[in-house]
Amino acid sequence: MFSRSHHVIVGLEIGTSKVCAVVGRLSAEGVLNVVGVGQHRSRGVRKGEIVDLETASEDIRKALVEAENMANLEVRSVFLGVTGAHICGFNNRGRHHIPPTYREITEEDVQDVIKNARAVNLPADHHVVHLIRQHFIVDGQPEVVNPVRMEARQMELDVHVVHGITSRLQNPIKAVKGLQIEVEDIVFNGVASSLAVLGNQEKELGALVIDLGSGVTEYVVYAEGIIKHTGVLAVGGDHVTNDLAYGLKVPMGRAEALKIEHGGALLTPDVRGRAVRLGSETGASDRTLNIEHLRRIMSLRLEETLEIIAEDLDRAGLLDYLRAGVVLCGGGSRVPEIDRLTERIFGLPVSIGRTRTVSGLAAALDQPEFATAIGLVRFGSYQLGRPARARGLTARLAEKLGSMLQRS
């Protein structure tokens, strides 16, 4: 049914509000096409992490079935997005001496320096999700992209390490494996989103991607073409809804509806003194609801979330690198005026993420909510694009999963 020249890549994001599966097809020419999208309301996830495995599995199955039907194929394996407050990233440097005197750097030396950079001092129960190469430093010469065949005594490598707690990374893997579907690799959601919404030029200029999800907010900084910083804040759209439910004294469902209908990231003059009537569903007496309060609660929360991110980047000294500005994606980027609020806080141009690096179903590509899942497909296509490493990857994964299961 399928020609061998096509690779099918499936990205699966188990989000807090929805489970989303995107099917992409990579042609022999290296063109990635999105051919199927499936989504289902997610019920077993809080703050980006599964709290009810049974329900989550059911939701994942439904989303995958929908994607399968649309793409008219069977999903065998997925690239799985992971997130959660336990995930964090930092930069590390690995060193490698080339004995005894200088000679040409070989591929083995590169592997050695990667190994050294990987040997970071992490607690035993942590697992490295990504080890992202930044730059090589060859005999003190910085910013070397590829050191092979250069002559040197010593080589260093800067990497960005994204790690999380093994047992908590294992839960989504377990949910997927329970459906008899293989996990090709796990990818940090923030990294996936950035792959979907950033082009090469923006990565080169320096950009911040903020994925405003419902459970968590992830952010990734690219500068000089490489990932400089990643972070997760376990605050998202759910918090906004919860704040509204608490502040306006309405049920969660009603708060969610109010957020969508009347929400906004800024307290604009036009909402001052505005009120809406709340129809009674339960037979209770009618209430009027002050829109100004709603906006105030919401804008405070969003402002705080963005401020925490800005503070973190400020501390890392990265705010000056973001020449291409801030790109927002995720459901939170649909909040009216969120771009203006972000602009005010970061003082940078802000845009809403559109997937430009992939072709296919326009309806799916235009929606910022799908950025992560599409980014997962993109990630998969990069992995498959390196056939020489494909074998190694599978073996590595098998080993990883094996060790994870053993530890449990």
Partner 1 sequence: MEQPITNPSVAGGQAGPRLKVVGVGGAGLHAVEHLSRNRADAASLAVVHTDARLLGQSPIEDRLLLGSHLTRGMKAGDPDVGRAIAEGEAERIGEFCAGLDLVLILSGLGGNTGSGVAPVLARVARESGALVLAIVTLPFEFEGRRRTVQAQAALRLLRTAADAVIVLPNQKVAGLIEENASLTEALGKANELLADGVRGLCRLVTHEGLIKADFSDVCEAVRGRHAESCLAAAEAAGEGRVRAVVQRLLESPFLEGGAALAGADALLVSIAGGPGLSLKEIHQLMDQINRLCEKAQVIMGAEVDPALEDRLLVTLVGARRVEPDGTADQPGEVDERIDEAASALVSEFPTGAEEPGRRPPAGSTAPRSPRFAPPPPNLNEEETRRLLDHQRRKSGRRRGRSNNADQGLLNLEVISKGRFDRSEPTRHRGEDLDTPTYIRRGIVLN
Residue 252 interacts with partner 1 (CB under 8 A)? Answer: yes
Which part of the chain contacts partner 1 (CB under 8 A), choosing from 66-74, 195-203, 301-309, 330-338? Answer: 301-309
Which part of the chain contacts partner 1 (CB under 8 A), choosing from 130-138, 177-185, 240-248, 379-387? Answer: 240-248
Please, which residue, 262 or 354, has the CB nearer to partner 1? 262
Q: How many CB atoms lie within 10 A of CB 357?
A: 16
CA pair distance 263, 298, nearest whole angstrom: 7
Min dist CB 191 to partner 1, Å, is 21
Work out which of 30, 100, 123, 279 binds partner 1, going by CB under 8 A.
123
182-188 β-sheet, strand order = 182-188, 77-82, 7-14, 18-26, 32-41, 359-360
Residue 125 interacts with partner 1 (CB under 8 A)? Answer: no
Min dist CB 373 to partner 1, Å, is 24
The pair of three-digit structure tokens given for residue 251, joined into one six-digit string = 């049920």
Residue 154 interacts with partner 1 (CB under 8 A)? Answer: no
Restricted to residues 307-366, the positions that interact with partner 1 (CB under 8 A) are: 307-308, 311
Q: Hunting for tokens 């093994």 — which residue is that?
A: 166
CA atoms within 13 A on the CB side of 52: 11
DSSP 249: T
Work out which of 3, 5, 101, 121 binds partner 1, going by CB under 8 A.
121
| 170, 408 contact by CB (below 8 A) | yes
Which part of the chain contacts partner 1 (CB under 8 A), choosing from 56-64, 153-161, 244-252, 384-392? Answer: 244-252
Residue 381: CB partners within 8 Å, gap ≥ 6?
7, 9, 24, 26, 30, 32
Q: What distances in angstroms separate CA 135 from CA 49, 108, 145, 298, one per listed residue? A: 32, 17, 6, 41
DSSP 408: -
CA pair distance 31, 21, nearest whole angstrom: 19
Residue 242 interacts with partner 1 (CB under 8 A)? Answer: yes
Question: Exposed, middle or buried, 140 (CB in 10 Å: 0-12/13-18/19+)?
Answer: exposed
Please, which residue, 104 or 125, has the CB nearer to partner 1? 125
Report cis status (omega within 30 of 0) of the bond before 147. no
Which part of the chain contacts partner 1 (CB under 8 A), choosing from 67-75, 93-101, 229-237, 377-385? Answer: 229-237
Residue 260 interacts with partner 1 (CB under 8 A)? Answer: no
In our burial notation (b when 16+ CB lie closer than 10 A, e otherwise), range 15-31 reads bbbbbbbbbbbbeeeee
Which part of the chain contacts partner 1 (CB under 8 A), choosing from 74-82, 237-245, 280-288, 369-377? Answer: 237-245
Residue 46 interacts with partner 1 (CB under 8 A)? Answer: yes
* Contact pattern from residue 60 through residue 89 relative to partner 1, giving x for each residue in contact according to CB under 8 A and a dash for the rest: -------------------------x----
Work out which of 304, 314, 320, 399 binds partner 1, going by CB under 8 A.
304
Min dist CB 209 to partner 1, Å, is 20
| 173, 14 contact by CB (below 8 A) | no
Residue 243 interacts with partner 1 (CB under 8 A)? Answer: yes
Please, which residue, 35 or 335, has the CB nearer to partner 1? 335
Work out which of 67, 223, 233, 345 binds partner 1, going by CB under 8 A.
233
Q: What distances in angstroms separate CA 114 from CA 53, 380, 392, 397, one per listed residue? A: 35, 21, 15, 17
Q: Which residues bind partner 1 (CB under 8 A)?
A: 46-47, 51, 85, 121, 123, 233-235, 238-239, 241-243, 245-247, 252, 290, 293, 296-297, 300-301, 303-304, 307-308, 311
